[in-house]
A and B are shown apart, each in its own frame.
Chain A
């Protein structure tokens, strides 16, 4: 089944404790992206990747890191999480090209205490 997977689905952590949210897709997509969803704000892009070893900042990159060592994986790293990073996070992927649909993972609910 073609899909985007994320782990964990739920995470409660404390301020300053490094964490990684994994994202993997099995559709051989070049493009991958991370979004965060906050009430009343919709979804906003954090980072994106056009292909392996090519990543760039989105609209709200502060406090996040990413890497793209393999085409299928695009982990999101929070080196020192803070309470304002409490949010719902989505990973998405698509073939390259703005005309393509982005396929979303199931979301990761992160709470930082």
Chain B
């Protein structure tokens, strides 16, 4: 069974600085998708970025980028030029291929942005 581990329950960053959130996963599948979701205080789950396992190039979306290390099964999220609106819970997730196609979530990292 796939598992996702986020080892940092909480992180903080100064506004305009860069922060990296860690995520590791375990799977025996060769092709899969990884996602980072943001959950602000409104509780809405918002997709931040996704990465296909077969693509070696790291995904980027504006100030958000990932460092995907397939052999190490690592999928970290880098937030550059942090803004107050980035404060939220961040969940790393793996979507399983076949079967339930469920998202397997990590336990989340709470990010605080200090002005």
- The answer to whether A97 and B101 touch across the interface, beta carbons within 8 angstroms, is yes
- The answer to whether A106 and B44 touch across the interface, beta carbons within 8 angstroms, is yes
Dominant secondary structure of chain A at its interface with chain B: strand
- The answer to whether B91 and A42 touch across the interface, beta carbons within 8 angstroms, is yes
Instruction: Bin chain B's interface residue count.
Output: 20 to 34
Q: Which residues of chain B have a CB within 8 Å of any CB of chain A?
A: 4, 32-33, 35, 42-45, 47, 50, 52, 91, 95-98, 100-103, 105-108
Dominant secondary structure of chain B at its interface with chain A: loop
Instruction: Bin chain A's interface residue count.
Output: 20 to 34
**B91 contacts which chain A residues (CB < 8 A)?**
42-43
Per-residue B-contact encoding for A92-103, CB less than 8 Å = 1, 0 else? 100011110110
**B107 contacts which chain A residues (CB < 8 A)?**
40-42
